[in-house]
Amino acid sequence: MDFNSFDISAEAPIEEPARQYYFIARCRRHVTDFFEKNHRYPTACVTTFGCQMNARDSEKLAGILRQAGYVLTEDENSDFVIFNTCTVRDNADQRVYGRLGELNGYKRRNPKMKIALCGCMMQEPDVIEKLKKSYSFVDLIFGTHNIYKFAELLCTSLETQGTIIDIWKDTDRIVEDLPVERKYPFKSGINIMFGCDNFCSYCIVPYVRGRERSREPKDILREIERLVDDGVAEVMLLGQNVNSYGKNLEVPVTFAQLLREVERIEGLRRIRFMTSHPKDLSDELIQVMKESKKICRHLHLPLQSGSTRILQRMNRRYTAEQYLELVRRIRREIPDIAITTDIIVGFPGETPEDLEQTIDMVRKVKFDNAFTFIYSRRTGTPAAAMEDQIPEAQVKEGFDRLLRVVQETAREQAAKHRGKIMEALIEEVNESTPGYVTGRLSNNMIVHIPGNERLIGKLLPVSLDECRGFYYIGHAVSGPKEN
């Protein structure tokens, strides 16, 4: 796209994404003015809080900033800083407020600095009121539904004074073909859907990301084909609940059908996806995974609790027995699959007996890993209004017990692979061990092998020589020779 060819003296187009291209071109004029005054290009930093969905959104923000002429940096002492926020747990909010205090110090020394906030946290009315009252130095605030408008909002911020706040309650819009600045040249996340319809009683996501809306398969496939042409070997298909993909399309498509189409893309080596809701995981999907040569042998399947009583209060819409039977079906069909999960401890009304059932479930399933969390009360969710809230200090002992069992079973699972040869995608230089690089196996485990940066992006067969509990030490069996 030649943004210099746009006539920015004309009215902005109405249709998207042409409208955003127009505003990128206008931003480039401001960047040119900055360069002429300062003899350097302005710097920009995008800081991400939260999940893979947020990370992918940040790549879009960075892509727009890059096309506008900014020099991207990881230094928050920059000319433009944007925080892409998360609000799943309260400590995520507190981290943002703490970091804003640091940015205010930078802005005092550089009054022309611009500070922007976006993402899930911005969809909460109480947060906006607090920002207005105590953080008036923030220049731009927008949410999750209008992230595609970032170029337009950035341009408005550059051309006006004061704080711009643009929060939408919801949207059904999906805008394709916006610039993206990928973090990794060899792998990429792909949004296949947005929003969530599950309304788990503890979760704020449906309220801040809106209702489910799926991208058209042709747009997803076209994006992946372009990425593969650009050297991407692995894609991760992203959604709050990928198993319900396609239900709201004009011509409904199942997630399993989409996976079959993605698998046909020549040159693509690996397919990952997350997150799967147990209530929607179909036998069709299990069969597609079983037959696939490209879908990684890893499934993230959030349990949240091993107590059926607590699962009902969470509005998860499956029982502990149904979850366990689903895992047994998956492992029967795909014996080499790694299953990871999420577990919440201290949900309102949870008793020691409920926690014991969760610990028992961990022992029965033998998760390859689990992300364990102490329940975080989120205003606006049904669980926040429940009367039997449990003090965090009371929860801590049970949380530590669960964590020990999780770690024990994860180590047992990992030890089974010692001595095997498995394929690893080499992702980065190992900063803690000179002379080593770090790769990721199909089952999502990490392996460190001797090598240098020339191996990054390569898929190599590696020997898993030593198991260190949650990662392996190994060596490349064959593949590119280092000079």
pLDDT at 370: 96
* Omega within 30 of 0 (cis) for the link into 275: yes
For residues 402 and 244, give the distance between their C-alpha atoms in angstroms, rounded to a whole number.
30
Beta carbons within 8 Å of 258's beta carbon, 6+ residues apart: 192, 217, 220, 237, 245, 246
For residues 359 and 47, give the distance between their C-alpha atoms in angstroms, rounded to a whole number.
36
3-state secondary structure of 439: strand
pTM of the model: 0.92
pLDDT at 4: 79
Check residue 421 and report its DSSP letter: E
Stretch 259-265: mean pLDDT: 98
pLDDT, tens digit, for every residue of 366-416? 999 999 999 999 988 999 999 999 988 889 999 999 999 999 999 999 999
C-alpha angle with apex 308: 255 to 299, nearest 5 degrees? Answer: 30
For residue 331, the surrounding DSSP H or E stretch is helix 320-333
Per mean pLDDT, which range of 60-74, 355-369, 390-404 is the poorest? 390-404
Percent of the chain with pLDDT over 70: 99
Task: Identify the bridge partners of residue 472 per DSSP, sorted by sequence position.
Answer: 447, 467
- Which of 239, 166, 169 lies closest to 208, judged by CA? 169
Stretch 452-468: mean pLDDT: 96
Single-letter amino acid, residue 78: S
pLDDT at 451 exceeding the cut of 80: yes
pLDDT at 478: 75
Please report the beta strands in 186-233, taking only residues with DSSP state E, as ranges in sequence order. 187-191, 193-194, 213-214
What the block records as the tokens of 236 is 């991760």
Stretch 242-271: mean pLDDT: 97
pLDDT at 480: 46
The chain-wide mean pLDDT, for the chain, equals 95
pLDDT at 482: 40
For residue 132, the surrounding DSSP H or E stretch is helix 125-134
Check residue 304 and report its DSSP letter: B
Strand pairing class (421-429; 459-467): antiparallel
pLDDT at 483 exceeding the cut of 70: no
For residues 245 and 265, give the distance between their C-alpha atoms in angstroms, rounded to a whole number.
19
pLDDT at 420 exceeding the cut of 80: yes
pLDDT at 379: 87
pLDDT at 190 exceeding the cut of 60: yes
Stretch 430-455: mean pLDDT: 96
pLDDT at 479: 52
